[in-house]
A and B are shown apart, each in its own frame.
Chain A
Amino acid sequence: MLEQLERNLSQIVGYIYPNEIELHWGILIVVYPYITGLVAGAFILASLERVFNVKEIMPTYRLSLLTALSFLLIAPLPLLLHLGHPERFYEIMITPHLESAMAMFGFVYIWYLMMVLILEIWFEYRQDLVVLAREGSGLKKYFYYLLTLGSLDLSEKSLRFDKKAVGFITILGIPSAFILHGYVGFLFGSIKANPWWSSVLMPIVFLFSAIVSGIALMVLVYGISTLLRGKSINMPCMDKLATYLLNALIIDLSLETLDFIHRVYESVESIHIMGQMISQKLFISLIVVQLMLGTLLPIVLIVVTKTFSVPAELRRLVYFMAAIFVQIGIFSTRWNVVIGGQLFSKSLRGLTNYKMELLGVEGLLISIGLLVLPVIILIVMIKILPPWKEHIGAAS
């Protein structure tokens, strides 16, 4: 670590406080809001289907819930790995300092995981679980019986209750998803010492970028899983997802632009160093990747396919590409917030540098691992809880 700091020392532009040579939040803290954003986004998409009864995106409903859960399970890991004393992590839950935004993480997380996601999934799947338990054999049978928690009633009345419960949880879930990710935005937005972060818009920008990333993720998950199963992709569903993605992208872009104009127009003391940072350190990740590749290009792609009657095959491909660009863009968004917020000195007189490690706990490999892990969990989850209705339709 010290050699790393040594190297940083030579990269400094202008003056930074001597303690600022070390960058405190690295790639792991970039991964964290990226993941929670995906969770919140996927869940909000699922809720759209339930609350507003959007029939077209029905095929993604259960898949979105499972995706949200898979990513949520991993969300605390990057935080944990980054702590100086991970073994003391439980202190956040046992002796939280209630004035601290970070202390709320444990509660927000548990609430969202237990009260919203798991509960909604359970009610949504209860009927399937009972059927699977009845049809299964051996260990599998008991496993599914266990998952039903002994509630085997499949009468009209109890199924109606399941439906009602799901509806109720969804309504509770939307504000919870807003809190989950808006809260992460607040973690940054409430740091008055840091002019790059400190903004009331931060939670809202976080929220909309979360929705963008969640929808784009579901385009990919739905598309790829359907192709892998050898089924044909439901184009009305894809078109609807693309429309939502486009709308969310436009709102997200407008918010970011508003934030940008506001900053430039107010032109407070920090504007000089911010400008310097963007042109010297963040040009590629902010202007090229986040704005052009991750926002404008997908918008153009979707708008073009929507305006001209493009054949389904090609449309599908364009949506996939747009979704991939959006993911790259949102990852850079997180990067630009987290790393960008630490590249300039709080003396507003200089810039420092961040060199990502490859190996090591706070390195690139671990981060990639943390992003692959939820995908593996999702695959397992799909095996246990098949989200496809056709499966259960045939069985019952």
Chain B
Amino acid sequence: MGILVNKCIGCGRCVSGCKKENSVPKDPFFFRTWVERYIITTDGSVIVYSPNGGIDGFDELTEKYSLLRSFFIPKLCNHCSNPPCVQVCPVGATFSTKDGVVLVDKDYCIGCRYCIQACPYGARFLNPETKTADKCTFCYHRLAKGMLPACVEVCPTKARVFGQIGLRSSPLTRFLRFNAIQVLKPDLNTGPRVFYANLDGVVN
């Protein structure tokens, strides 16, 4: 997936779309995707927040901060190509598919939560209903039918771009070709497959 940071307006539709599509518990503690607001003030300090995962959008920015710049960052599981969550799962319930999606088998997961500890991005949670680890699947059930992930489909500004890596005709290839690309926490060598265009260096 590609994310055009400049296009995200922080409306939170992706968050609510994802919760509906994937029956993610409504409570503000469980998210497969969420949106963060970054505020950088003139004295260089960084303020981040994400009330209820940004599901209801964000307030108008007030004069409270002496603002230098501000932007929104949508987040989700990075479907890492070197995923620490897969590495640590003691029973192999978390696994990478051939097409590069990281999934959890909820009929197999023993709920030890080691993968939640191992994910550097806070992408995982323990589903209170199934008592198993849960996270973004890129809407694998939709992909199988040739559809786009729900968050990509509902984004009003097309800030999220989806496609197969390496496929010439895929929108993602175009996105990767025409933008300066960054990933989150590259130093951890997780090999994220969610790519950000115009990502600010302070984001982590």
B-binding residues in A (CB < 8 A): 1-2, 5, 9, 15-22, 24-25, 79, 82-86, 88-89, 91-92, 95-97, 99-103, 105, 190-194, 341-342, 345-349
A5-B27, A95-B92 are contacts. A84–B48 as well, Cβ < 8 Å?
no
Residues of A within 8 A of B124 (CB): 19
Nearest residue (CB) in B for A15 is: B48
Is B156 interfacial (CB 8 A cutoff)?
A: no
Give Cα A106–Cα B91 distance, bound, in whole angstroms.
12
Q: List 5 A-B contacts (CB under 8 A).
A: A15-B48, A85-B132, A100-B89, A348-B204, A349-B46
Contact of B111 among A1, A83, A342, A347 (CB under 8 A): A83
B27 touches A2 (CB 8 A): yes
Nearest residue (CB) in B for A190 is: B88
B117 touches A24 (CB 8 A): yes
A193-B84, A347-B48 are contacts. A103–B91 as well, Cβ < 8 Å?
yes
Q: Mark B61-80, 1 if CB is under 8 A from A, else 0.
A: 00000000000000100000
Contact of B118 among A84, A97, A193 (CB under 8 A): A193
Contact of A97 among B30, B34, B91 (CB under 8 A): B91
Contact of A88 among B50, B110, B125 (CB under 8 A): B110
Question: In which size bucket is the chain B interface?
Answer: 35 or more
Contact of A95 among B34, B88, B91 (CB under 8 A): B91
B91 touches A25 (CB 8 A): no
B132 touches A84 (CB 8 A): yes
Give Cα A5–Cα B128 distance, bound, in whole angstroms.
12
Interface hub of B110, B126, B188 (most chain A Cβ within 10 A): B110
A-binding residues in B (CB < 8 A): 27-31, 34, 36, 46-50, 52-53, 75, 84, 86-92, 108-114, 116-126, 128, 130-132, 188, 204
A84-B111, A347-B204 are contacts. A105–B90 as well, Cβ < 8 Å?
yes
A18-B34, A97-B89, A97-B90 are contacts. A25–B113 as well, Cβ < 8 Å?
yes
B125 touches A9 (CB 8 A): no
Nearest residue (CB) in A for B30 is: A19
Nearest residue (CB) in A for B38 is: A15
The 10 closest A-B pairs by CB, nearest first: A84-B111, A17-B122, A84-B131, A193-B120, A97-B92, A103-B90, A102-B90, A15-B48, A24-B113, A19-B125
Give Cα A102–Cα B87 distance, bound, in whole angstroms.
10
The binding surface of chain A is classed by DSSP as loop
Interface hub of A22, A89, A193 (most chain B Cβ within 10 A): A193
Q: How far is the CB of A311 from chain B (nearest CB, A)?
A: 51
Interface hub of B88, B90, B125 (most chain A Cβ within 10 A): B90
Q: How far is the CB of B43 from chain A (nearest CB, A)?
A: 16
Give Cα A41–Cα B48 distance, bound, in whole angstroms.
45
B123 touches A99 (CB 8 A): no
A91 touches B118 (CB 8 A): no
Residues of B within 8 A of A9 (CB): 28-29
Contact of B108 among A15, A88, A193 (CB under 8 A): A88
A19-B29, A92-B91 are contacts. A346–B128 as well, Cβ < 8 Å?
no
A96 touches B132 (CB 8 A): no
Given contacts A21-B28, A193-B118, 20 further A-B contacts (CB under 8 A): A18-B34, A19-B116, A22-B125, A79-B112, A84-B110, A84-B126, A85-B110, A86-B110, A88-B109, A91-B91, A91-B108, A92-B110, A96-B90, A100-B87, A100-B88, A102-B90, A192-B120, A193-B188, A346-B122, A347-B204
